[in-house]
Amino acid sequence: MQSGNTYQAFKWTAALMVLSSLLWLSGCDSSHGQQPAAQAPVPEAATVTIEAQKIELNTELPGRTSAYLVSEIRPQVNGIIQKRMFKEGSDVKAGELLYQIDPAPFQVAHDSAKASLGKAQANLPAIRSKADRYKELLVDKAVSRQDYDDATAAVQQAQAEIEYWKTQVEAARINLGYTRVTAPISGRIGRSSVTDGALVTAYQPTSLATIQQLDPIYVDVTQSSNELLRLKRNMETGQLSADGKNGKSVRILMDDGAPYPLEGMLQFRDVTVDPTTGSFTVRIVVPNPDHMLLPGMFVRAVVQEGIAEQAILVPQQGVNRTPKGEPYALVVDETGKAQQRMLKLNRAIGDKWLVSSGLSGGEQVIVEGMLNIRPGAAVKAVPMESPKGAVEATNVKQTVVESK
CB 47 within 8 Å of CB 381: yes
Give per-residue pLDDT as tens, 21-53. 554 544 544 444 445 445 567 788 888 888 888
Mean pLDDT of the chain: 81
Give per-residue pLDDT as tens, 264-301. 888 877 667 777 877 878 888 999 999 999 999 999 98
Mean pLDDT check: name the lowest of 51-60, 166-175, 198-207, 285-294. Answer: 51-60
Give me the pLDDT at residue 30, please. Answer: 45
Q: Residue 119: pLDDT band by 50, 70, 90 thresholds?
A: very high
Whether 2 shows a pLDDT value over 90: the answer reads: no
Give me the pLDDT at residue 32, please. Answer: 47
> Pairing between strand 79-84 and 327-332?
unpaired
Q: Residue 238: pLDDT band by 50, 70, 90 thresholds?
A: low
In the chain, the domains with their CATH numbers are 49-66+213-401 (2.40.30.170), 75-101+179-206 (2.40.50.100), 103-178 (1.10.287.470)
Q: Using H for helix, E for strand and C for coil, what is the string for the chain?
A: CHHHHHHHHHHHHHHHHHHHHHHHHHHHHHHHCCCCCCCCCCCEEEEEECCCEEEEEEEEEEEEEEEEEEEEECCCCCEEEEEECCCCCCEECCCCEEEEECCHHHHHHHHHHHHHHHHHHHHHHHHHHHHHHHHHHHHCCCCCHHHHHHHHHHHHHHHHHHHHHHHHHHHHHHHHHHCEEECCCCEEECCCCCCCCCEECCCCCCCCEEEEEEEEEEEEEEEEHHHHHHHHHHHHHCCCECCCCCCCEEEEECCCCCECCCCEEEEEECCCCECCCCEEEEEEEECCCCCCCCCCCEEEEEEEEEEEEEEEEEEHHHCEECCCCCEEEEEECCCCEEEEEECEEEEEECCEEEEEECCCCCCEEEEECHHHCCCCCECEEEECCCCCCCCCCCCCEEEEECCC
Whole-model pTM?
0.65
Higher pLDDT, 268 or 88: 88
